[in-house]
Amino acid sequence: MSRPAELMHTDLPGLLHRGKVRDLYDLGDQLMIVATDRISAFDVVMNQPVPGKGVILTQMSRFWLELLPPCNPHHLDYVVQPGRAPIGYEAAVDSLAGRAMVVKKTHILPVECVARGFLIGGGWKEYQESGRVSGIELPAGLQQAQRLGEPIFTPSTKSNTGHDEPISFERAVEIAGEFTASLGMPASAGRDAMWEARRRTLDIYVQGARYAESRGIILADTKLEFGLHGGQLLLADEVLTPDSSRFWPADSYLVGTNPPSFDKQYLRDYLESIHWPKKPPPPPIPVDVLEQTRSRYVEAYRRLAG
Ligand X SMILES: Nc1ncnc2c1ncn2[C@@H]1O[C@H](COP(=O)(O)OP(=O)(O)OP(=O)(O)O)[C@@H](O)[C@H]1O
**Residue 67 found at the interface with ligand X (CB under 6 A):** no
Kindly indicate which of the ranges 14-22, 147-155, 261-269, 286-294 contains the residues binding ligand X, using the contact rule CB under 6 A: 14-22
DSSP character at residue 158:
-
**Residue 223 found at the interface with ligand X (CB under 6 A):** no
Which residue, 23 or 126, is less far from ligand X as judged by CB? 23
DSSP character at residue 209:
H
Nearest distance, CB of residue 237 and ligand X, angstroms: 4
Quick check: 210 and 218 in contact, CB under 8 A? no
Which residue, 145 or 194, is less far from ligand X as judged by CB? 194
Which residue, 26 or 213, is less far from ligand X as judged by CB? 26
Of the candidates 150, 295, 132, 133, the one whose C-alpha atom is nearest the C-alpha of residue 209 is 150
- Report helix, strand or coil for 66: helix
Nearest distance, CB of residue 38 and ligand X, angstroms: 8
Kindly indicate which of the ranges 19-27, 78-86, 165-173, 216-224 contains the residues binding ligand X, using the contact rule CB under 6 A: 19-27
**Residue 75 found at the interface with ligand X (CB under 6 A):** yes
Kindly indicate which of the ranges 105-113, 119-127, 216-224, 253-261 contains the residues binding ligand X, using the contact rule CB under 6 A: 105-113
Among 19, 98, 110, 121, interactor with ligand X by CB under 6 A: 19
- Interatomic CA distance for residues 259 and 131, integer angstroms: 21
Of the candidates 233, 211, 262, 248, the one whose C-alpha atom is nearest the C-alpha of residue 66 is 211
Which residue, 236 or 300, is less far from ligand X as judged by CB? 236
Burial 73-107 (b: 16+ CB within 10 A, else e): ebbbeebbeeeebbeebeebbebbbbbbbbbbbbb
The dihedral over CA atoms of 184, 187, 193, 199, expressed in degrees to the nearest 10, equals: 170
End-to-end CA distance of the chain: 11
- Report helix, strand or coil for 153: strand
**Residue 99 found at the interface with ligand X (CB under 6 A):** no
Cis amide leading into 281 (omega within 30): yes
**Residue 105 found at the interface with ligand X (CB under 6 A):** yes
**Residue 9 found at the interface with ligand X (CB under 6 A):** no
- Interatomic CA distance for residues 51 and 53, integer angstroms: 6
Nearest distance, CB of residue 208 and ligand X, angstroms: 18
Listed in sequence order, the residues at least 6 apart from 24 whose beta carbon sits closer than 8 Å to its beta carbon are 15, 16, 17, 18, 31, 32, 33, 34
Kindly indicate which of the ranges 18-26, 86-94, 172-180, 258-266 contains the residues binding ligand X, using the contact rule CB under 6 A: 18-26
Kindly indicate which of the ranges 51-59, 104-112, 119-127, 270-278 contains the residues binding ligand X, using the contact rule CB under 6 A: 104-112
Nearest distance, CB of residue 68 and ligand X, angstroms: 17
Q: Which of residues 236-295 bind ligand X (CB under 6 A)?
A: 236-237
Among 7, 10, 25, 31, interactor with ligand X by CB under 6 A: 31
**Residue 71 found at the interface with ligand X (CB under 6 A):** no
Name the residue whose CB lies closest to ligand X. 19
Of the candidates 116, 123, 111, the one whose C-alpha atom is nearest the C-alpha of residue 194 is 111
Which residue, 227 or 282, is less far from ligand X as judged by CB? 227
* Contact positions vs ligand X (CB under 6 A): 17, 19-22, 24, 31, 75, 103-106, 108, 225, 227, 236-237
